[in-house]
Every structure is written in structure tokens, then in C-alpha cells.
């Protein structure tokens, strides 16, 4: 069964819309959801316009839900599938389209940017002469109908369920937070940088390196300015095309070493330094803002805090609570396995039945595991340099179906067509700019670029679907109080009491298996998900 949920613009109240069409106003929404008759609590699908607007408040009152249908996320997926990519996807917009009213822009598109301002800027639209509960209910019914008319409604329903579950998980991860020891983080920064500087100053070790750089060049140079660095090298008689670290590494000049050291530390300082901690870490928890489906491929993005780019070095600060542990699991070689399963390539699927897929493929590539890996990555990314052409020729011969699968996706992209993931996420259409370019002198290049994008899209998007499905299942298998606290494309982290370690590890294995069956049915492809329990994230690999 489903229940439509709306929250009052002010206060803790809201409405519950029942399947028979009646709408009840409740003074305390979280309480009403939490006290829903236990017998069917797990069976309820809570339908709401936007998880980010409704769920945090509910969580804040200590209530969690099992399943939901996020109307805005679903609308985005449906619009893409219907060739209307990019149109506003809020429940209000969907309702307006349904009835021929003027379609309001999405609020996040209007407000955009700043943390915490996402939904505060303007009061809720007055509506279209209909209560919000009726509005959401009408859009929900319409969406069910549209899903039913798609080519693969069953798969798309899985996609919608996974995306909606992802929204719940993202909200919960943001709410509960990832363990982050401020004291460890501070000690690490102090060791590397030399203590927190006064406002407007560089940390001492950073300043020392900057001074070394200036001394080496015999002139003042801002190490944060690529332009100034290039000029400084020029006046030393050296021409560098850029200041990328791998370029500078090859340059013979005394300024290079301190400069590279500076760049590395400066990044830590500005990205994950004290200012970052002030903003994002409270009470030994890092609370990130995830954006479900924020990447066109369906991967998650972040809107602040950089949760998906935590430097390996900083993982020292991620430490389980006393008596608790971190169970960290990542899917090994996820993308080639996804390709094997999707393409139905017998040979590749057999290799993907092994724990080390690349080793299993090595035979086909002259016994070279590295060659097999480059061949697979080139096939999935559209690589053309080095040995790629030669290795791709081997792949074409030995794994023709997998080869054809990515080639077809690339060709579709080059021709300006849309491609779809396994569950039905649709790639964005080519931009107007691309259409101009493609018929001009730079046409071949633009065409190839888009081909590489669509080639990768089908694999990356399906990998994202597998990972989100796994998480959605895992969430239901976790014993209380274990919690998902981190997710990064193909890696999950669960924070749990020590005595739940074994249960959590097997829950992860089960979830990986169930996700594989749900998506691909009876495939020989295996998706190994090795889980390791650690006290500190840095010890996970």
C-alpha cells in the first residue's frame, strides 16, 4: 500500500493521503508516520514530493521509514526516458504539465548553490486550486501509468525503487554522519602543516615551502598561481606547458621539489583543513550533503563537504566509536562485470565468474593481466592511445558481444542518439552547441567525444544502479543500531557495534548477491563484495 505525505510549510504537522482518497491532517507528521500500525508499517510505500524536504524532519524526530517513492526523482527519470530531459521535475511542475498550467521552474535550479538555502528561499507555491496531497497523489498515479507504458516497465520500477531508497539513505547518512575524530584530524593537520595559522596567514610549513619556492626562482612567486609559476620557469629559461604535477615532475629545477610539496599540502589545507572541519564536522561526525542522481549517469554527487573526494591520507580521521567498528566493502572490478552481464558475452561472463576478472582474462591477452585491464578500460572509456587499438582488436575477436555492446553505444552517441542503462536511465540528449559543432569543421571531434560519453554512460550508469540496489537491500538487512554511514560509487561503509561485525559482513554479501539477481537474473557473472572490519578507515586498504 502507499500513503501520500506532505509537510506543512511551518511547524511539525502535515497530511497523510490514503489510497481511498481521504486526506487527514495530522499535528505531528513524524509521530503519525512512526506510529503507523505496526502490522503494515514495513509494507507502506510513503509517497512524497521530495525526500530532502520531508525526511530530515522526520529523522530528526527519531523516525525512519522503510520505503518511499520520491516523486521528483522519479519525474526526472521519466522525463529522461520520454525524451524530455531537463524539464522541471518537481511534483508541482509535473502536475502543471499534466493539466496544461504554466510549469514552475525547480526551486533548486532557481536558488542554487549555497548550503542550507536550498529550500528556504521562497514559500511553497500556492498550488493550482488543489491541495498538495491531492496534487502529489495525482502525479504519483500519472507516473505509475507512464512507467507502465515504457518498454521495460519492470526494470524501470526497480530503478525508481532504488533511486527512492537512495534518497532515504542519503538523508540518513547526512543525518547520522560518518564518524570523524576531530582530535585525530587536528593532529594530522598539525603534523603536516604546522598548526592552525592566524586568520589570513599560511600554516608555517606551507609558508616555509612557499619561501623555498621563491628562493629557488630568485623572485616572488605565488605558488597558487599557475600563471606566475609558468612565468617564473620562463625567466629561468624553462618552458613548461602547464603546472600539472606530472609535468613538473619531469622538470629539472630546484623550485620543483618545494613547489610539488606545496601543492600537495595546500590542497589538504584548503579542502579538508580546519575551516572545512569547522563547517562540516560536529561532535565527531562528518555530515555530508549528498545529491542522489546528481551525476547524469546516476552516480551520487555532493553539494558540499566534498564527501566523495576525501583524500586517502585523511581517512586516518575516520575512526569507529569506542566498542564499534567500521565495516568497509567495495565491489571489485564492478564496471567490467557490469559490461559482461549486460552484453551477455559468454566468454567475458565466464572470466567475470572469477574473483580476479583481469587475471582470468589474461590468457586472451598473451598472458598479460595488465594488457587485459587496459583492453577492458579502453573498451569502456573509449581509449585510443598506446596499446589500446591493438588490444581492442583482440577484444573484438575474443569477446565480440561485449565489444559490440560498447561500440553500439558509442555509435549511437556519435550520431546524436540517446542511450539507456540496464534499468532504463536515459543519457542526456546532445546540446544545441553540440549540434552546431558536429556539422562544422570540428564535427568529427565533437562526435567522437560524445561517443566516448555514451559508451561510458551505459556501463557507469548500470554500475551505479547495481550499487544503489545493493545499498537499498543492505539497508533492510542491517541489524539495529548498525548504520550505513558512507557511500562512494562502488564502496559502502557500515558503522556498527563490534558484536554485529559478522552479521553485517554477511548482510553485505547477501545484499550483493540479491542485487545481482534482481538486476541480471541468472547470470554466471559474479560481483565480489569483500568486506573488511576496521577501527580506522585508513586501514581498510
Partner DNA sequence: CGCCAGTGCGCC
Partner DNA sequence: AAAGGGCGCACTGGCG
Interaction between residue 310 and DNA (CB under 7 A): yes
The total of other beta-carbon atoms located within 10 Å of residue 213's CB is: 25
Q: Distance of alpha carbon 460 from its chain centroid, rounded?
A: 11
Interaction between residue 407 and DNA (CB under 7 A): no
Interaction between residue 306 and DNA (CB under 7 A): yes
Interaction between residue 39 and DNA (CB under 7 A): no
Q: Give min distance, CB of 47 to DNA, in A.
A: 27
Q: Give min distance, CB of 319 to DNA, in A.
A: 18
Out of 80, 166, 382, 528, point to the residue binding DNA (CB under 7 A): 382
Out of 271, 316, 344, 353, point to the residue binding DNA (CB under 7 A): 271
Q: Residue 133 and residue 222: Cα distance in Å, rounded?
A: 57
Interaction between residue 311 and DNA (CB under 7 A): yes
Shorter beta-carbon distance to DNA: residue 153 or 294: 294
Interaction between residue 414 and DNA (CB under 7 A): no
Shorter beta-carbon distance to DNA: residue 383 or 424: 383
Shorter beta-carbon distance to DNA: residue 191 or 278: 278
Q: Residue 473 and residue 507: Cα distance in Å, rounded?
A: 9
The total of other beta-carbon atoms located within 10 Å of residue 41's CB is: 13
CA distances to 77, 402, 429, 456, 524 from 442, rounded to whole Å, are 32, 30, 19, 22, 43
Shorter beta-carbon distance to DNA: residue 139 or 374: 374
Q: Distance of alpha carbon 436 from its chain centroid, rounded?
A: 31
Residue showing cell 567495495 = 330
Among candidates 320, 207, 225, 227, which has minimal Cα distance to 269? Answer: 207
Grid cell listed for 14: 502535515
Interaction between residue 224 and DNA (CB under 7 A): yes
Out of 386, 389, 443, 479, point to the residue binding DNA (CB under 7 A): 386
Q: Is 310 helix (H, G, I), strand (E, B) or coil?
A: coil
Out of 28, 182, 408, 449, point to the residue binding DNA (CB under 7 A): 449
Residue showing cell 574473483 = 355
Out of 103, 144, 208, 301, point to the residue binding DNA (CB under 7 A): 301
Interaction between residue 244 and DNA (CB under 7 A): yes
Among candidates 101, 16, 108, which has minimal Cα distance to 58? Answer: 16
Query: x-or-dash pattern for DNA, window 489-528, by CB under 7 A?
Result: xxx-------------------------------------
DSSP state for residue 113 in the 8-state scheme: S
Q: Give min distance, CB of 133 to DNA, in A.
A: 32
Rg (CA), the chain: 26
Interaction between residue 263 and DNA (CB under 7 A): yes
Q: Residue 167 and residue 165: Cα distance in Å, rounded?
A: 5
Interaction between residue 390 and DNA (CB under 7 A): no
Interaction between residue 305 and DNA (CB under 7 A): yes
The b-or-e profile of 154-183 (16+ CB within 10 A means b, else e) is: ebbbbbbbbbbbbbbbbbbbbbbbbbbbbe
* C-beta separation of 365 from 416 below 8 A: no
Residue showing cell 601543492 = 263
Single out the segment in contact with DNA by CB under 7 A; choices: 84-92, 237-245, 316-324, 418-426: 237-245
> Which positions from 323 through 342 interact with DNA, judged by CB under 7 A?
330
Q: Residue 345 and residue 368: Cα distance in Å, rounded?
A: 21
- Side-chain-side CA neighbours of residue 340 (13 Å): 28
* C-beta separation of 67 from 135 below 8 A: no
Q: Give min distance, CB of 283 to DNA, in A.
A: 21
Q: Give min distance, CB of 472 to DNA, in A.
A: 19
Single out the segment in contact with DNA by CB under 7 A; choices: 41-49, 343-351, 448-456, 511-519: 448-456
Query: x-or-dash pattern for DNA, window 358-377, by CB under 7 A?
Result: ----------------x--x
Interaction between residue 226 and DNA (CB under 7 A): yes
Interaction between residue 453 and DNA (CB under 7 A): yes
Strand 67-70, strand 45-48: pairing = parallel
Out of 23, 184, 291, 532, point to the residue binding DNA (CB under 7 A): 291
Out of 303, 368, 417, 503, point to the residue binding DNA (CB under 7 A): 303
* C-beta separation of 89 from 79 below 8 A: yes
Q: Residue 537 and residue 297: Cα distance in Å, rounded?
A: 27
Out of 73, 188, 388, 494, point to the residue binding DNA (CB under 7 A): 388
Out of 321, 381, 417, 535, point to the residue binding DNA (CB under 7 A): 381
**DSSP per position, 379-412:** HHHT--STTHHHHHHHHHHHSHHHHHHHHHHHHH
Shorter beta-carbon distance to DNA: residue 294 or 497: 294
Residues that bind DNA (CB under 7 A): 222, 224-228, 242-246, 250, 263-264, 267, 269-271, 276, 291, 294-297, 299, 301-306, 308-313, 330, 374, 377-378, 381-386, 388, 449, 452-453, 456-457, 460, 488-491
Amino acid at each position: 500500500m502507499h500513503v501520500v505525505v506532505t509537510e506543512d510549510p511551518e511547524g511539525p504537522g502535515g497530511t497523510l493521503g490514503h489510497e481511498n482518497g481521504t486526506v487527514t491532517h495530522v499535528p505531528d507528521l513524524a509521530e503519525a508516520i512512526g506510529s503507523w500500525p505496526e502490522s503494515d508499517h514495513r509494507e507502506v510505500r510513503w509517497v512524497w514530493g521530495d525526500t530532502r524536504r520531508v525526511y530530515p524532519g522526520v529523522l530528526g524526530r527519531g523516525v525512519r521509514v522503510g520505503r518511499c517513492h520520491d516523486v521528483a526523482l522519479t519525474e526526472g527519470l521519466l522525463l529522461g526516458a520520454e525524451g524530455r530531459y531537463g524539464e522541471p521535475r518537481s511534483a508541482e511542475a509535473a502536475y502543471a504539465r499534466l493539466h496544461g498550467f504554466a510549469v514552475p521552474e525547480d526551486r533548486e535550479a532557481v536558488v542554487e548553490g549555497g548550503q542550507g538555502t536550498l529550500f528556504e528561499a521562497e514559500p511553497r507555491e500556492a498550488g493550482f486550486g488543489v491541495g498538495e496531497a491531492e496534487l502529489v497523489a495525482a502525479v504519483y498515479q500519472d507516473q505509475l501509468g507512464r512507467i507502465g507504458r515504457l518498454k521495460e516497465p519492470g526494470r524501470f520500477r526497480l530503478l525508481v525503487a532504488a533511486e527512492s531508497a537512495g534518497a532515504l539513505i542519503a538523508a540518513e547518512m547526512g543525518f547520522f554522519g560518518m564518524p570523524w575524530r576531530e582530535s585525530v584530524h587536528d593532529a594530522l593537520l598539525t603534523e603536516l602543516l604546522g598548526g592552525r595559522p592566524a586568520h589570513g596567514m599560511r600554516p608555517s610549513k606551507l609558508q616555509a615551502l612557499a619561501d623555498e619556492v621563491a628562493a629557488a626562482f630568485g623572485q616572488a612567486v605565488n605558488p597558487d598561481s599557475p600563471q606566475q609559476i609558468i612565468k617564473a620557469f620562463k625567466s629561468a629559461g624553462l618552458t613548461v606547458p602547464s603546472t600539472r604535477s606530472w609535468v613538473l615532475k619531469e622538470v629539472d629545477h630546484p623550485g620543483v621539489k618545494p613547489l610539488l610539496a606545496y601543492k600537495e599540502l595546500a590542497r589538504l589545507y584548503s579542502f579538508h583543513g580546519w575551516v572545512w572541519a569547522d563547517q562540516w564536522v560536529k561532535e565527531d561526525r562528518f555530515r555530508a550533503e549528498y545529491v542522489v542522481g546528481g551525476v547524469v549517469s546516476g552516480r551520487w554527487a555532493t553539494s558540499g563537504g566534498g564527501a566523495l573526494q576525501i583524500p586517502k591520507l585523511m581517512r586516518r580521521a575516520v575512526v569507529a566509536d569506542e566498542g564499534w567498528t567500521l565495516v568497509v566493502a567495495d565491489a571489485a572490478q564492478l564496471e567490467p562485470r557490469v559490461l559482461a552481464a549486460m552484453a551477455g558475452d559468454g566468454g567475458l561472463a565466464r572470466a567475470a565468474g572469477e574473483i580476479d576478472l583481469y587475471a582470468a582474462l589474461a590468457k586472451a591477452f598473451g598472458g598479460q593481466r595488465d594488457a587485459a585491464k587496459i583492453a577492458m578500460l579502453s573498451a569502456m572509456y573509449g581509449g585510443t592511445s598506446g596499446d589500446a587499438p591493438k588490444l581492442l582488436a583482440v577484444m573484438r575477436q575474443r569477446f565480440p558481444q561485449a565489444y559490440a555492446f560498447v561500440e553500439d553505444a558509442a555509435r549511437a552517441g556519435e550520431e546524436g542518439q540517446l542511450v539507456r542503462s540496464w534499468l532504463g536511465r536515459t543519457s542526456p540528449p546532445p546540446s544545441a552547441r553540440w549540434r552546431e559543432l558536429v556539422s562544422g569543421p570540428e564535427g568529427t571531434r565533437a562526435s567522437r567525444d560524445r561517443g566516448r560519453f555514451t559508451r561510458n554512460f551505459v556501463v557507469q550508469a548500470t554500475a551505479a544502479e547495481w550499487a544503489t540496489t545493493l545499498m537499498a537491500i543492505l539497508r533492510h538487512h542491517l541489524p539495529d543500531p548498525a548504520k550505513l554511514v558512507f557511500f562512494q560509487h562502488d564502496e559502502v561503509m557500515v558503522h556498527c557495534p563490534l558484536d554485529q561485525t559478522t552479521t553485517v559482513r554477511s548482510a553485505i554479501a547477501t545484499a550483493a548477491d540479491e542485487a545481482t539477481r534482481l538486476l541480471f537474473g541468472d547470470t554466471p557473472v559474479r560481483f565480489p563484495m569483500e568486506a573488511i572490519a576496521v577501527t580506522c578507515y585508513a586501514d581498510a586498504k
